[in-house]
A = this chain, B = another copy of it.
């Protein structure tokens, strides 16, 4: 078939871009003395075509919802990503050799320290879910932006990829393009499917995708497939590209095992770079494409309004208060979105769905993808709230870890925390969730104990940029606060106090209510203790805690519906760890079982009876 000269020249120019990307990737990794040049080389033609033939963006505002987005799911090919952004002018090419240095933002795997990186990648299998979130977010914001995700073939083994694939087709995310770089070699050997492109095609098609199988090193096929892909018709498109690992880096390396994550030795790198440069047609790269919509004008959401109505002051389950609070927040702020993993009737996220059906995203029973999608929505300027049973959020532990590294603006609420859920048994009891979320460096962790506090937690979560976790309780608990009670990040509340207090009990959620019941019993017996509501578990108010300890004979008793490791007690201990405060602990210390909540609280040593016993043991008599 005849190819017109300009088109031909364009292809040669794109080939030059790809060759330069290979040169830059080899140079940077050899300079760094580590990295993955062969993983860059297999995807160089694909990335060159994406950046210069189809992607529309604005270097001044790469995160504007009007801009197409690029996600490098195979994050270990970071040098290729940096080279591509240098090629379009977002970075100075000569800085690429700063790769992996401690004072450079060109990290070993991409992080959002760089303005054109939406989320950190490097834990494989997460990029497609983020891409779904970016694409759904763009659609929600009424832009025509597309999302391009480059995946490695090795990561296609991650279940999270298939969670994202099924959601993308179910949601008809036609502005999403997945490009699979099938170089057939993993880190430690050939991939499960090698170059069996048909099987990738069958699987993606079965998951509802339009699929193109191409030679990933034939620029004509690559550009044709990408252009077809960006004319999505009611379904996402996948380009399954047959590639060679180390393509263009010479016979010693091309398609050979044993070269994963290895830079070329300097002398070899020089030879390879010379050979690559000798193939340059010396044509200028095609001009980059601009977004169709005017940047800065696409986020057409009404400005946030003051929150109307009042929080519930009476008896209520905090999980229900969460659902009601989210609706109130949603009324005031159009950026708020909700996702839930097929438990919305239990987490009360269904209240938000009923009120704002277009702003709710069903995450199905696929928690990993739900969190990645939320990270993508957050990267479009929306404020996603993710709910499930707290124990099932742990399914997404690695996605949450990566969202933390990404400083993603994602809010998560885990309901049904702890043994107090009762009869459903241990598989449904989150006893590690505080630990998981506390270990996200900049995360805020709220553990509200009544309707007013839960309402405040939801509003504070929306106002705070970054990861915020809210832990809610299944059962109904009494109201504790007046509707105008003030809460903030770091807040703790002293609910019971006297001048004679000999011990400060620190708790939150169900155990706070048990502590209050124990307090009433102790008061009858004339034992004076302080009761503190640790509303904000992270960061916590160390000064106020220490003051309380000082006022209570330097004695603290923490009580938590959580395992002792990493939870509320550990948080309190570290806050007062060098101050000669005796911190006693009540927590769940064995594998729990099914049973009535009140019986379980006593059986596992965190109920009112257990608190009374422990206090007697601590204070004597």
Q: Whole-angstrom distance between the alpha carbons of A203 and B569 in the complex?
A: 46
Interface hit among A231-239, A293-301, A328-336, A595-603: A595-603
Establish whether residues B432 and A401, one from each chain, have CB atoms under 8 Å apart when the complex forms: yes
Q: A158 contacts the other chain (Cβ, under 8 Å)?
A: yes
Q: A366 contacts the other chain (Cβ, under 8 Å)?
A: yes
Establish whether residues B426 and A111, one from each chain, have CB atoms under 8 Å apart when the complex forms: yes
Q: Which of B102, B155, B160, B577 contacts A582 (CB 8 A)?
A: B577
Interface hit among A14-22, A268-276, A389-397, A484-492: A389-397
Establish whether residues A345 and B187, one from each chain, have CB atoms under 8 Å apart when the complex forms: yes
Q: Whole-angstrom distance between the alpha carbons of A398 and B594 in the complex?
A: 19
10 tightest A-B CB contacts, nearest first: A159-B159, A566-B566, A122-B427, A102-B595, A397-B397, A108-B425, A107-B594, A100-B423, A206-B206, A395-B398
CB distance from A177 to the nearest CB of B (A): 21
Q: What residues on B are CB-neighbors of A368 within 8 Å? A: 159
> Which residues 450-498 in A have Cβ within 8 Å of B in the complex?
none
Establish whether residues A565 and B157, one from each chain, have CB atoms under 8 Å apart when the complex forms: no
Extra contacts, 10 of them, besides A405-B426, A405-B427 (Cβ < 8 A), are A34-B424, A108-B424, A108-B594, A154-B342, A159-B160, A159-B368, A188-B345, A206-B206, A577-B583, A580-B582
Q: Whole-angstrom distance between the alpha carbons of A599 and B103 in the complex?
A: 11
Q: Which of B166, B350, B441 contacts A188 (CB 8 A)?
A: B350
Q: Which of B108, B203, B369 contacts A159 (CB 8 A)?
A: B369
> What residue in chain B is nearest A389 (Cβ atoms)?
B123
Q: Which of B107, B424, B435, B563 contacts A122 (CB 8 A)?
A: B424
Establish whether residues B441 and A589, one from each chain, have CB atoms under 8 Å apart when the complex forms: yes
Q: Whole-angstrom distance between the alpha carbons of A314 and B186 in the complex?
A: 32
Q: Whole-angstrom distance between the alpha carbons of A87 and B7 in the complex?
A: 73
Q: What residues on B are CB-neighbors of A133 within 8 Å? A: none
Establish whether residues A158 and B566, one from each chain, have CB atoms under 8 Å apart when the complex forms: no
Establish whether residues B442 and A427, one from each chain, have CB atoms under 8 Å apart when the complex forms: no
Q: A499 contacts the other chain (Cβ, under 8 Å)?
A: no
CB distance from A420 to the nearest CB of B (A): 13
Q: A150 contacts the other chain (Cβ, under 8 Å)?
A: no
Q: What residues on B are CB-neighbors of A60 within 8 Å? A: none
Establish whether residues A436 and B397, one from each chain, have CB atoms under 8 Å apart when the complex forms: yes
Q: What residues on B are CB-neighbors of A364 within 8 Å? A: 154, 157, 186, 191-192
Establish whether residues A159 and B577, one from each chain, have CB atoms under 8 Å apart when the complex forms: no
> Which residues 141-160 in A have Cβ within 8 Å of B in the complex?
154-155, 157-160
> Which residues 186-206 in A have Cβ within 8 Å of B in the complex?
186-189, 191-192, 199, 202-203, 205-206
Q: A591 contacts the other chain (Cβ, under 8 Å)?
A: yes
Q: A578 contacts the other chain (Cβ, under 8 Å)?
A: yes
Most buried by B among A125, A163, A207, A398: A398
> What residue in chain B is nearest A170 (Cβ atoms)?
B192
Most buried by B among A32, A189, A343, A566: A566
Establish whether residues A392 and B206, one from each chain, have CB atoms under 8 Å apart when the complex forms: no
Q: Which of B108, B125, B158 contacts A423 (CB 8 A)?
A: B108
CB distance from A339 to the nearest CB of B (A): 13
Q: What residues on B are CB-neighbors of A344 within 8 Å? A: 188
Establish whether residues B578 and A570, one from each chain, have CB atoms under 8 Å apart when the complex forms: no
Chain A interface residue count, CB cutoff 8 Å, equals 109
Establish whether residues B100 and A595, one from each chain, have CB atoms under 8 Å apart when the complex forms: yes
Q: A515 contacts the other chain (Cβ, under 8 Å)?
A: no
Establish whether residues B101 and A187, one from each chain, have CB atoms under 8 Å apart when the complex forms: no
Establish whether residues B187 and A346, one from each chain, have CB atoms under 8 Å apart when the complex forms: yes
Q: Whole-angstrom distance between the alpha carbons of A392 and B573 in the complex?
A: 29
Q: List residues of A whose CB falls within 8 A of some B CB.
A: 32-35, 75, 100-102, 104, 107-109, 111, 113, 120-125, 154-155, 157-163, 166, 170, 186-189, 191-192, 199, 202-203, 205-208, 340, 342-346, 350, 362, 364-366, 368-369, 391-392, 394-395, 397-398, 401-402, 404-405, 407, 423-428, 431-432, 435-436, 438-439, 441-442, 563-566, 569-571, 573-574, 577-580, 582-585, 589-591, 593-596, 599-600, 603
Most buried by B among A122, A207, A427: A427
> What residue in chain B is nearest A208 (Cβ atoms)?
B199
Most buried by B among A34, A187, A431: A187
Q: Which of B102, B345, B569, B582 contacts A594 (CB 8 A)?
A: B102
Establish whether residues A202 and B206, one from each chain, have CB atoms under 8 Å apart when the complex forms: yes
What are 9 of the A-B contact pairs (CB < 8 Å)? A34-B423, A107-B425, A123-B391, A155-B365, A159-B159, A159-B366, A188-B342, A435-B435, A564-B574
Q: What residues on B are CB-neighbors of A100 within 8 Å? A: 423, 425, 594-595
CB distance from A210 to the nearest CB of B (A): 15
Q: Whole-angstrom distance between the alpha carbons of A347 and B216 in the complex?
A: 32
Establish whether residues A574 and B573, one from each chain, have CB atoms under 8 Å apart when the complex forms: yes
> What residue in chain B is nearest A595 (Cβ atoms)?
B102
CB distance from A510 to the nearest CB of B (A): 17
CB distance from A575 to the nearest CB of B (A): 11
Q: What residues on B are CB-neighbors of A166 within 8 Å? A: 157, 192
CB distance from A440 to the nearest CB of B (A): 8
Establish whether residues A441 and B585, one from each chain, have CB atoms under 8 Å apart when the complex forms: no
Establish whether residues A402 and B427, one from each chain, have CB atoms under 8 Å apart when the complex forms: yes
Q: Whole-angstrom distance between the alpha carbons of A123 and B389 in the complex?
A: 10
> What residue in chain B is nearest A557 (Cβ atoms)?
B578
Establish whether residues B397 and A394, one from each chain, have CB atoms under 8 Å apart when the complex forms: yes
CB distance from A607 to the nearest CB of B (A): 13
Given A365-B124, A436-B432, check contact A574 B569 (CB 8 Å): yes
